[in-house]
Amino acid sequence: MTGSDSHTRRMVVTGASSGIGAAAVHRFVAEGFEVHAVARRAERLAGLSAATGCATHVLDVTDTDGVVALAGELGPIDVLVNNAGLGRMDAPLATGSLSDITRTIETNVTALMVMTMAFLPPMIERRCGHIVNIGSMAGLYPLSSATYGASKAAVNRFSMNLRIELRGTGVRVTEICPGRVATEFYDVAISDPQRRAASKDSGVQEITAEELADAIHYAVQVPAHVNINRIELQPTEQTYGGMSFDTVIPEGEDIA
């Protein structure tokens, strides 16, 4: 049980095999939720289940039929955390590939919308539920990746407009927009080993996946009459725009 709830709250977390998704599974299982972890990597999910006791579902979120089938199998849930996402940053748009565009939009936008659509009707019928979308600071501020930024900007607008659509239903919508988080993001985003290593070394203390899970937990656990519209969080030394960081100026030196 959680709080004054008369039933065990049920949650679905996508992209649960690592990083933010795995951290959210750990956090909410510890809080007494029945958590269903969704991801492509069966071995990672098996380890997560062994560690937490969560239920697991091996599924690529871009498989629309699979998503619809999962929603039918699970029935009503209380919270959907749309965490699955990726960014391809091997090249700027002009020299990039069509496959990178397609993969990014299908995963970050289309799959998120389909997953939400599949699980929403029972929430509306029961007049309670919570959609938590993991966006990005890249969707709110300029970033040197047009495709990824556009996909996360779509998550931002989708979240805002969905909340308007759901007014009067009791269903809440929250967008969590992190900056740099210490996850496997750049391992997928950048293929070239040298560029990947350089991109991963920000030189600042980054947000951990567990700290991001804390933000999700805060939004979910506030009273039902309160909707946390959006949470922006990033390392203290990271500035808006995603790729710029403040540095300490040595004493006696001026900024050029």
Q: Is-catalytic flag, 148?
A: yes
Sheet order of strands, 79-82 included: 55-58, 34-39, 10-14, 79-82, 129-134, 171-178, 230-233
Cα–Cα distance for residue pair 214/236, rounded to 1 Å: 17
141, 148, 218, 240: the catalytic one is: 148
Closest CA to 245 of 157, 137, 159, 126: 137
Tell me how far CA of residue 47 lies from CA of 148, 185, 193, 229, in angstroms: 30, 20, 27, 33
Cα–Cα distance for residue pair 39/209, rounded to 1 Å: 17
Tell me how far CA of residue 185 lies from CA of 5, 143, 154, 179, in angstroms: 35, 15, 19, 12
Catalytic (active-site) positions: 148
